[in-house]
Every structure is written in C-alpha cells, then in structure tokens.
Amino acid sequence: AEPTGLPRDLEGRSVVVSAGGTREPLDPVRYLGNRSSGRQGFALARVAAHRGADVTLVAANTADLVVPAGVRLRRVGTAEELRSELLEVADGVDAVVMSAAVADFRPSGSAEHKIKKNSGDPPPVELSRNPDVLGELVRRRANGRLRTEVIVGFAAETGDPDTTVLEYGRKKLAHKECDLLVVNAVGDGRAFEVEDNAGWLLASSGMEHPVPHGSKTLLASRLWDAVVEQFAAGDS
Ligand code: CTP
Ligand code: CA
C-alpha cells in the first residue's frame, strides 16, 4: 500500500458503508429524491481503505465522485434496493456505517408510462413508508440473524426553539439503538452539497464527542477512531 501516514488499525477488518441518496420513481423519468451528494460516505470508504479495511461501498445516487482505490462498489437506486443489498453484504462484517440518505417514503405506485400534463388536474402523489434499513439491521442483530459488531447511524438535524440539534441526536440514538450516531447540524446550507460537516459523535455507551467544523475526511477519521475504540471494548 502507498504510504499515507495513517494508522493501519483497520487491517483485517471488513466494513460496509452506505452512501448517497435514494431515488423513488414516480414514473419512468421522474423520482422523489434528496440532496445527498454521497461525499461523506465516499470519504468514509476512502479513509477506511487507507487504514487497511476491506471496504464495500453501497452507493445510491451520488455526485460524480471518484471511487476510492481498493473499494468494492455496489450501486443501488431505491431504498428497497439499498435494503436488499445491505442485507446481502452486512452479515459477518465488523462494522456497518449507514451514511446514505434513505427516503422515508416512496410513491405508492410508479406509473408505467410517463405522466402527461394534458390529462387534466395533476394527480395527487400517494406515498408509502419505506423500510427503515438501519432499524432492521439493529433488530436482526438483536435476533441473532446478523453478525456485525458495530452499527453506525447518521442523523442530519435542524434545531428548533424547544430542542437543540444535540438533544434531537440523543433522542435518535436512544430510538435507533445503534452503537454510534453521527449527528450533523444542517440548515443555512450546511452539510448538504458542501465539503464540511459539524456536529457530534454519540455512542450508546454515553460517550459524546463534538465534531468541530472540518472536512468530511476529518469526520471520517474521527468516526473510524470511535469504531476502533468499540472494537477494542468488544475484544476485552
Ligand atoms: N435510515 C435508514 N432507512 C430509512 C431511513 C433512515 O436506514 N428508511 C438511516 C439513515 O441512513 C441514517 C439513520 O437511519 O443512518 C437516521 O436517518 P434519519 O433520516 O435521520 O432518521 P429517521 O429515523 O428517518 O427519522 P426522521 O427522518 O423522521 O428524523
Ligand atoms: Ca428520515
């Protein structure tokens, strides 16, 4: 491997990272999507590979990003596809990091033909709930149907007058029951389609680290540091 100056502390470990935003079709040419670029997930995959991990990157729709060297790429489109791909690759790996922006809802039916505007009033879009992939991974592990030591979630939150971003993050960690949660403060053009993130790294153990304003690569390094700590706690 090229000298990177990074610790090789993920040598012998296998990890799965999901990235990008899902697209839920309305008809053959239109979809409901989100603004995730996939940059954070690609940074996570790149840093993990540099630190010696065997990396599978499950990428939904992303900006035109360079696939990091040595990383196994699997492309998906919808939340359903992301779910089935993850269930296929996650079992037996050491860590799964869900940085993908998964659509909570999808159009209940995708029209077989392009919806035309000249057919009267616009049709209402009826939505159905998508599976919660992170929730399912955590549930499967609890049932013994998935062997994965560390499961990591991401949360993009905006604060409001009653509840801060950090408080929303703590609630989400308690609700999701994953091992680590990265909480990003969004709004004012932060986090989406920009290079920088700022937020917190929360662990189910109660550990809370602020993640200062910095690059997505820096956040990725901090996250893998925390994952390595979890491996060490699990080994002892
Ligand atoms: N996630 C997922 N499947 C979904 C929705 C979200 O696996 N259908 C994952 C995301 O990849 C992320 C974590 O769950 O790691 C938190 O996503 P977020 O959207 O913040 O949480 P939700 O539970 O969807 O709650 P809400 O959007 O209402 O805040
Ligand atoms: Ca959501």
- Tokens in use for 228? 């390595």
Tokens found for residue 144: 């013994």
Can 184 be counted among the known catalytic residues?
no
pLDDT tens, position by position, 71-129? 999 999 999 999 999 999 999 999 999 999 999 999 999 999 998 888 788 888 999 99
ipTM over 0.85 threshold:
yes
Ligand of minimum distance to the alpha carbon of 153 = 1
Share of the chain above pLDDT 90, in %: 81
Check if 191 has its Cβ closer than 6 Å to any atom of ligand 1: no
Residue with tokens 């990725």: 220
Q: Each residue of 156-211: pLDDT tens digit?
A: 998 889 999 999 999 999 999 999 999 998 875 555 655 556 789 999 999 999 98
- Residues in the 5 Å CB sphere of ion ligand 2: 104
Q: Which one is catalytic: 34, 130, 184, 197?
A: 34
Quote the ligand 1 centre to 102 CA distance (angstroms): 6
Instruction: Tell me how far the alpha carbon of residue 52 lies from the centroid of ligand 2, in angstroms.
Output: 31
CA distances (Å), 187 to each of 111, 160, 184, 202, in order?
33, 11, 10, 20
Question: Span 15-20, mean pLDDT?
Answer: 98
Phi, psi values for residue 223, rounded to 5°: -65, -45
Over the stretch 28-81, which tens digit does the pLDDT of each residue have?
999 999 999 999 999 999 999 999 999 999 999 999 999 999 999 999 999 999
Residue 102 CA to ligand 2 centre (angstroms) = 7
Report pTM.
0.94
Q: What is the pLDDT of residue 4?
A: 62
Q: From the CB of 153, is ligand 1 less than 6 Å away?
A: yes
Instruction: Report whether pLDDT(236) > 70.
Output: yes
CB 100 within 8 A of CB 27: no
